[in-house]
Structure formats: structure tokens, C-alpha cells
Amino acid sequence: MKNEVQMKGKFHYRLSGWKYNTGLRILLFLILGLIFYFTLYAKLVPQVFDITLGMKSEKTIYAPEQIENAVATEQAKEDAAKRVQPVYKIVNLKNEVISDAIFDKLSQINADDEVKFDDKVSIYRRVIPQLISDLTNDAIKTLRNSGQYNDLLLEQIQLGLSDQKYPLPEEIYFKLPRLTKEDLADMRPVTKEIVTKLMNDQILDAQTARAKVAEVVNTSTLSKNTSREMVTEIARALITPNKFFDQKGTDDAKGQARGNMKTVYINKNDVLVKAGDVITEEIYTRLEKLKLLKDKANHLPQLGLGILCALLSFVIFIFVRQSNLQVKYNNLQLVMLVLIFVMNIAGMKIISLLQNFDYPFIGYLAPTALGSILIAILLDAPLAFISSVLFSIIASIIFNTEHDALFDFRFGLVSLVICFSGVFTIQRASQRATILKAGLMIAFFSMLTITAMLLMEDHFQQREALMSLSFATAGGLVTVVFVIGLLPFFEASFGILSPLKLVELSNPNHPLLRKLLTETPGTYHHSVMVGNLSEAAAESIGADGLLCRVGSYYHDIGKTKRPSYFIENQTNIENPHDRIDPNLSKSIIIAHPRDGVDMLKDYKMPKPIRDIAEQHHGTTLLHFFYHKAKKQAEEENSEKGIREEDFRYPGPKAQSKEAAIVGIADSVEAAVRSLRNPTLEQIDSMVTKIIKSRLDDGQFNECDLTLKELDKIAKTLNETLLGIFHSRIEYPSELTAKKPGA
């Protein structure tokens, strides 16, 4: 029955008030999920607007992602096509061959004396133009058979030759029959040379080239005026255009220019519509393509985001539920966990505002490992590892500047690596300098991960690599600054006693420890011994050994109010309890836990330290003064009854493993110190007796110590005491050997 009442008291102590309310705990996890949802909403769910065609926009709308500007792209392509120069083809028509054919015909006809003069004139009037036309057509046919020229170009060549044909003057036909064989022989090479020379130039307008013929003929070797005149006219007839406009080639060049033109984009955060602008069809189509129209909105991304955030929150919920951490029951610590998530995500969001498509590497500046380090120091390292995974997922979404995927694995991987490295470095931290070391490790592993990714890419820009590494280094230093700045805030606001704070409190220069040393040296020595014993015992069962050690240093600080009333401080003085009533002695002794708590509160000591000072005696009985009071009452034949409850400490009983362990170590140290020459058997018996006495007295009913753990504590205390008192212990073998007169 007694145990049942004690268990109910324990349950009430732990679960009463808002700090242990189950409904509030569930609400906090829901709040954490909502924080995830609203943090990632802008990244994963496009904003929509109530807009119709032809209306004026009530607000300025920015592009939520990069999108092609189709109109600007098409305009840029057209501009590029307009800048393309017309394409011309140079064609070798071999007009010098026509020159040889004409002179062959002239030599043949002029040498025939049977043909009359008039007939020769008629022949030349008919044959020479036909000869030029036939040979030109043959040249075009050759070009077509070569396959190098398209039909459209061949048409342009034929049309150009036809339009710029040179008609020989009528009087030329009357002069040609009079040319002698010698005249023709002189004229042939000169004509061919002039045609070849002028046709080597690019001729678009034949008239320009023909104007040069007379000047070239005048510088030739011909001396007769008639010969010069005949050569001039024949050469002009043979000078034709050889540079022709290639429509298909021009179209192909323009098409290539269009194809080479880069797509014009509207970048993320560029203005799509200014407030007051009329929504044109082009703008409306663009907004529709970006899914920014309310009536065309897709609500599936919202559902997907809700499921994702629920999963992220559920991961934390399941881990906490399966753990034995205080955050499982203590809503105050859960509030702190949620606040750490809020601060860490807020830091990432602020840095993401500085990002853009051209400078995505600014994301490496974010103190992503801040939350993981704070959780490792203030709560638990395994919980910090789980949180690190969530932080890396969130970072891969927040810092994602690419829109072809929901996550950017680069930022997720770097965040995961630096969070893990920070937790590994800080989880056994014993001084503030370790935080700086963690910052350096974060910077180093961040740079190492980024370097690995850059080396695996096909190509990377040197500037981008240097900027990424620089921001990663700065991110590690920023993380250190924020951890050092925020750690005291969380310790003070939530009553968290971190290992770093515990190490600071264990400094002998602390005012209370100096007071304990100078005013109660015996109690100080006793407290140090209890610290050694309790730390070893706590570590043997996985409890907080450092908390036990530091709590032991302060557990008897209340004795400094009346130091002479405690036996460890009674050096060469009379014991004042011998002269006073046992009830008064009892009041003085049981007051020291309460006095200690008051002193610790005055110095704003953390609650776990105060709890150890208040609970280390629990509700144990002051056996000596209880029996002394009963004996006095019997001798005085007093009718007043002596109640056992009046000689018990007020409690409460130990509420934590650490408080219970300090209480055991406190009793064991005092008991063993009272032995003159303690043996191994005496120590073992004393430890077992004290633990059993407290167990039977129900002092462990309100903490989580098991019988197996009590057995481990007893063994550890024996081993530790053996090391402390080894020089004074007489082992059984030695006792047997030491006989009188030996």
C-alpha cells in the first residue's frame, strides 16, 4: 500500500502541470509540422493571383522561377536573322572557252572565199549570239550536274545572265568579215586575256566590269583601230556576272543565326507585372504557364507538401517517443527543441534571400549546423543526428535555385556533412573552446565536400569554386558565433545544464565553492570524495556522471550556515550536539538541504544542481537523534511520544537517477570514513547495507533506478572505494598471517 501511494506521488510529481501535459506535447509537434509547411510553402507551392484578361494588376508580381520569355526570344532571333548579310555564290562560267569558240568560228568563215560578204554578215549576226547562248547553257547544265547548286540558285544565274546580256552593235557584224587571218591571230590572245582577267573579279553588275574593257584594250599590243574595236565589243559580250544571290543559302544562314541565338529568360524574382499594368494576352499566357492564376491553380503541390511536413514532424515524434530522454515527458524541453528548429530554419531562410540564379553558392554561408550543435549540447546527441537529417532535407529545398527538381542535392549533402561533423565534435564537449573547434571542423568538412563535388563535375569555373569555398568557410565561423551567443540564452531560459556549464560550475574559484572550502574544509573534502564516487557510479549505469560530480560539490553547501554542527568540521572542538536537545539537533541537521537550496537560488544555480541538494537525503531517518530522543524520553518517563516521522528529512525523495546516486555516495562516503581501518569486506558490507536500507525505506520509488542498476552502483562504489582506501585496507590473507607475536 505504501509503495502504491509513493508511485502515485511520483506520477503526480512528474505529470502535473503544463510541462507534462500530453495534449500540449501533441500540439507542439503539430506546430513543428506547421513550421515546416509554411517555411517550405514558398519554395514548393507557387503563389496564385486572382487575375483576368484586360484588368489592371493590383500588385507587382514577381517570377517564382526562371521561365523562357517567348516574345523576347523570338524578337532576338528575328534581330539576329536581320543582321545576317545576303549570301552570294561565285560561279566560274569559263567564258574564255566561249572566246576561243568565237575566234574559231571567225577564222573558219572568213577563210572561206566562196561565201559572199553579205552572207558572212548574216551568219555572224545569227551564229555568234547563238554560240554565246549555247555555251552559256552548257555551263549552267554542268553546274546543275555537279549537285553543288540548288535549283533556286541556278534560276538566279540563268536570270542574271539573261538580264545582263550584252548585244553586239550591228556594225560589228559588217566589220568582222573584213578581218584577215593575221588580224584574228592577233586579236584571239588579247581577247582571251582580257576576259580571263576581268572575270577573275567578283562581278555582280556586268556593266561596271564592261566599262573597264576599253581601257584594258588600249594598253594591249594591238595597233589597228579596227582590231581594238572588235576586241572591245567581243570582250564586252563575253563579260557576264559571276556573283549571284543565293536565296536558299541566305535563308539557311538566317535559320542558323536564329538557332544559335540563346533563349531569353525571365529570371527568378524578375518583375512579371507591375502594379497598375494592364494584363495583356501575352502577360496572361505567361502567368498561366507559371501556374500563377487562381482559377487555374493546382492544389496537389499543397497536399504533397502537407504530407512531406507531416512525415518530417513524425520522424521527430517517433524518435522522442522511443527514447528515454527528458524531452519525452518535459514539454519545456520540447518547446526548446521547436524553438531551435525555428531559429535554424529562419537563419537558412534569411541567407536564401541573398541567393539568385547567378550566385547560388551564397547558400553555403547559412549556419545550418547551428541547430544540430545546440541540440547536441542542450538535449541529446542521437536526437541531434536525427535533426541533422531533417535540416539537410530542408536546406536542399530552401537553397534550391534549379527548378527541374524539388531538391538540390549539393546543399543537402553539404548540410548533412557539416551537421554530423558538428555533432561529433561537440557531443563530448567539456569547455567553450570546443565550440570553436567544431566551427573549424564544419568549415573544413564543408570545403572538403564542395571540393569533391566540383571535381566530379565535367567542368567548373574557378571563380565559382573559390566563392563556394569562401562562403563555406565563413559559414563555419558564423555558426560558431551564433552557438556561443545563443547557448547562454537557452541555458538561462529553459534551465538547461549543459556539459559546458557544468564544467564552469566545477571551477574551484566559484564563490560558493570558495566559501565551502574556507568555512567548511571538512565538508569540502567530503563533497569532493562524494563527487568521485557518484561520477563513477553514474557512468556505470549510463547516467550523467558530470552532473553527479558537480552536484556533489554543492549538495552540502547548506552546512556553511552552521558548520560546527556537522562532524566532518569538528576538528579539535567539542561536539555541540552533546549539549543540546536532540529535537534541536534534528532541526539543525535536516535544515541543511533547505538552506543549501536557498543559497543556490541566491546564486542563480541551475535547477538540476538545486534538486540534488534538496533530494540527496530524501526522507531518510536521522537514526542517531531519533534513538537519542527516545532514550531521553524513557529516562525522563515522559508521556510525550517520540514519532519517527518527526526525525525524517522533509524530502522530496530523489526524482532522478543522479539525485539518488549522490544520496547513496553521500551516505557511503560518510560511513566508510567513520571506519578506523576499513577492510574490503567491511566496505562491501557497508555499501550493501546502505543501498538495501534506502531501498527498503522506499527512497528510490520516485526515480527510475532498477535493481540491476543498484547492483552495478554497489560494485562500482566498492571498486572506487578500494582505490581510495587501498593503503589502509588489510586483506584477508594478511589478516590470517598477522598473529600475535608474529
Distances (CA, A) of 669 to 335, 652, 686, 688, 714: 39, 22, 10, 13, 13
pLDDT for residue 347 is more than 90: yes
Phi-psi label, residue 498: left if phi above 0, alpha if psi -120 to 50, beta otherwise = beta
Distances (CA, A) of 433 to 113, 425, 484: 124, 11, 10
CB 60 within 8 A of CB 276: no
Query: Alpha-carbon distance 244 to 87, whole Å?
Result: 9
Return the closest-CA partner of residue 165 out of 200, 193, 133, 191.
133
pLDDT for residue 362 is more than 60: yes
Query: Alpha-carbon distance 269 to 263, whole Å?
Result: 18
pLDDT tens digits for 451-471? 888 888 766 678 888 888 999
Structure confidence at residue 639 (pLDDT): 52
C-alpha cell at 110: 572568213
Query: Alpha-carbon distance 138 to 147, whole Å?
Result: 15
Helices 511-519 and 545-554 pack at an angle, to 10 degrees, of 50
Greatest CA separation found in the chain? 186
DSSP one-letter code for 65? S
- Helix, strand, or coil here: 648? strand
Which of residues 513 and 289 earns the better pLDDT score? 513
Q: Which CATH number fits domain 501-636+651-730: 3.10.20.740, 3.30.460.80, 1.10.3210.10, 3.90.180.10?
A: 1.10.3210.10
pLDDT for residue 357 is more than 80: no
Mean model confidence pLDDT for the chain: 84
Give φ, ψ of 115 to 5 degrees.
Answer: -85, 125
pLDDT for residue 687 is more than 80: yes
- Helix, strand, or coil here: 285? helix
- Percent over 90 (pLDDT), the chain: 28
CA dihedral 167, 171, 176, 180 (to 10 degrees): -150
Structure confidence at residue 64 (pLDDT): 67
Q: How confident is the model at residue 326 (pLDDT cuts 50, 70, 90)?
A: confident
Structure confidence at residue 9 (pLDDT): 42
Angle at CA of residue 256, ends 255 and 259, nearest 5°: 90
What b/e sequence results for 401-416 when a residue is b if at least 16 CB atoms lie within 10 Å of its CB, and e otherwise? Answer: beeeebebebbbbbbb
Structure confidence at residue 628 (pLDDT): 84
- Count of Cβ atoms closer than 10 Å to residue 147 Cβ: 7
C-alpha cell at 388: 541533422
CB 699 within 8 A of CB 654: yes
CB 47 within 8 A of CB 65: no
Query: Alpha-carbon distance 403 to 411, whole Å?
Result: 14
What b/e sequence results for 298-329 when a residue is b if at least 16 CB atoms lie within 10 Å of its CB, and e otherwise? Answer: eeeeeeebbebbbebbeebbebbeeeebebeb
Burial of 538 (0-12, 13-18, 19+ CB in 10 A): buried
C-alpha cell at 428: 563530448
Distances (CA, A) of 242 to 91, 94, 155, 161, 167: 5, 10, 13, 9, 18
Which of residues 470 and 568 earns the better pLDDT score? 470
Structure confidence at residue 297 (pLDDT): 58
Q: How confident is the model at residue 338 (pLDDT cuts 50, 70, 90)?
A: very high
* Residue whose entry in the numeric block shows the C-alpha cell 531560459: 493
Sign of CA dihedral 389, 391, 393, 396: negative
Return the closest-CA partner of residue 363 out of 422, 413, 435, 309.
413
pLDDT tens digits for 244-275? 888 888 888 889 988 888 888 877 667 778 88
- Percent over 70 (pLDDT), the chain: 90
Which of residues 246 and 551 earns the better pLDDT score? 551
Q: How confident is the model at residue 404 (pLDDT cuts 50, 70, 90)?
A: low
pLDDT for residue 191 is more than 60: yes
SS3 assignment for 118-162: HHHHHHHHHHHHHHHHHHHHHHHHHHHHHCCCCHHHHHHHHHHHH
pTM of the full structure:
0.61
Structure confidence at residue 739 (pLDDT): 42
pLDDT tens digits for 606-618? 888 999 999 999 9
Residue 478 one-letter amino acid: V
Q: How confident is the model at residue 11 (pLDDT cuts 50, 70, 90)?
A: very low
pLDDT for residue 501 is more than 90: no
Please report, for the chain, the start and end positions of each structural domain, with discontinuous segments joined by +.
Answer: 20-43+299-496, 50-69+266-296, 88-245, 501-636+651-730
Average pLDDT over residues 146-161: 82
pLDDT for residue 32 is more than 80: yes
CA 626 remoteness from chain centre: 66
pLDDT tens digits for 71-130? 788 888 888 889 889 888 888 878 888 888 888 888 888 888 888 888 888 888 888 888
Query: Alpha-carbon distance 607 to 332, whole Å?
Result: 13
Distances (CA, A) of 539 to 549, 683, 714: 11, 21, 13
Average pLDDT over residues 277-298: 72
Contacts of 434 (CB under 8 A, 6+ apart): 425, 426, 500
pLDDT tens digits for 410-450? 899 999 999 999 999 887 655 667 788 888 899 999 999 98
C-alpha cell at 464: 565559382
User: Do you find a cis peptide bond into 189, omega within 30 degrees of 0?
Assistant: no
What b/e sequence results for 152-188 when a residue is b if at least 16 CB atoms lie within 10 Å of its CB, and e otherwise? Answer: ebbebbeebbeebebebeeebbebbbebeeebbebbb
Average pLDDT over residues 568-596: 82
Structure confidence at residue 391 (pLDDT): 95
Structure confidence at residue 179 (pLDDT): 87
